[in-house]
Structure 1
Amino acid sequence: MLHYAVVFFVIAIIAAVLGFGGIAAGAASIAKILFFIFIVLAILSLLSGFFRR
């Protein structure tokens, strides 16, 4: 999932350089959503690891 966030981030950077505002905004918003989902899943994984011990 983090891979998709990085891919959309790179697409957003390239689109911003080329001046396509709508494409850059869309790719950046998708990257943000995937990043936050990854953070939540990582925290849940850490917490479940602590509780299993």
Structure 2
Amino acid sequence: MLYYALVFMVIAIVAGLFGFGGIAGASAGIAQILFFIFLALLVISLIAGLFRRA
């Protein structure tokens, strides 16, 4: 999932360099959403791992 967030961020940067503002904004938004989903799943996984050990 983090891979897809990075891919969309690269697409946003390239689109921004070429002047495609709408595509750059949409790609950056998708990358941001995917990154926060990744972070939420990471935190849930870490908490589940702590409870499993205890």
Aligned length: 53
- What is the TM-score normalised by the length of structure 1? 0.98
State the 4+ residue runs in structure 1 displaced beyond 3 angstroms: none
TM-superposition CA deviations, 1:2-50 (whole Å, max 9, x none)? 1100000000000000010000000000000000000000000000000
**Runs of 5+ unmatched residues, structure 2:** none
In structure 2, what is the equivalent of residue 27 of structure 1?
27
- How large is the RMSD of aligned CA atoms in angstroms? 0.3
**Runs of 5+ unmatched residues, structure 1:** none
Identity value in percent: 62
